[in-house]
Amino acid sequence: MDRSDQKRRGASTHPENPEPSFSSTPVSANSPAAASPDAGSPANNLRKELRVWTRDLLIAIGLALVIIVFLYQPVKVEGTSMAPLLSDQERIFINKFVYRFEPIQRGDVVVFWYPLDHTKSFIKRVVGLPGETVEIRQGVLYVNGKAIPEPYVPPQYEDNSDFAPKTVPENSFFVLGDHRISSNDSRVFGPVPSQFIYGRAVFAYWPVDHFGSLETTEANPK
């Protein structure tokens, strides 16, 4: 909240000596007599330091707000398809501009418009890149015929079913939920076009016991 200080207007004052007196001895601007008696006092120095610290703090807060507003977006996770990494109703920040400067990589947890209904957003993990062939054999993910380790999928969340080989189209990505047995993902709606992907999950802030960075877990072929 902005606050403004109101100054009370007082009555006009008059100098005690209408006719000022002048010293017959000129005083140099650099002489001690020309300086304020409190100019170098510890109190003045402290006030200057406080002003500098306050200014720097306000600048830092302003920059942080600009970064949060323009670079990051808070979102709420709905559902359990990304458990145990993300839980239902968890709050996270996504980076909205990261893919303007670097490519989408395998292992990234991305937020995108649901291909079958663009009014909805989904959050999944990228497992297949453009041009790659994705296949699942008895729950094991294969990319271009090579098995992909998935340490982010706990044994109790594995899906032991098969998925026939699927080549990912150009400028599209194959995404899966970590909670593999309870996820509506590219096995159902197909690869996601890159223009639908608008952010990468980077940080969890609520609940407090989940507070921290959402590091990318890159999965590479064995």
Cα gap 124→143, rounded to integer Å: 17
Q: What is the pLDDT of residue 46?
A: 84
Average pLDDT over all residues of the chain: 83
Q: What is the pLDDT of residue 173?
A: 98
Residue 35 has pLDDT above 70, yes or no: no
Across the strands, what pairs with 110?
A: 124, 200
DSSP of 27-43: --TTSGGGS-TTTT-HH
State in words which class domain 77-213 has: mainly beta
In the chain, where are the structural domains located? 41-74, 77-213
Residue 78 has pLDDT above 90, yes or no: yes
Cα gap 28→154, rounded to integer Å: 82
Tokens found for residue 107: 């292992």
What single-letter amino acid sits at 185? D
61 sits in the region (left: phi over 0; alpha: psi -120 to 50; else beta) called alpha
Residue 217 has pLDDT above 60, yes or no: no
Residue 129 has pLDDT above 70, yes or no: yes
Q: Which residues are catalytic?
A: 81, 124
| pLDDT tens, position by position, 133-162 | 999 999 999 999 999 999 999 999 999 999
Tokens found for residue 187: 């096995």
Residue 174 has pLDDT above 80, yes or no: yes
94, containing H or E segment: strand 91-95
Q: What is the pLDDT of residue 111?
A: 97
- Least trusted range by pLDDT, from 26-40, 70-84, 179-193: 26-40
Q: What is the pLDDT of residue 197?
A: 97
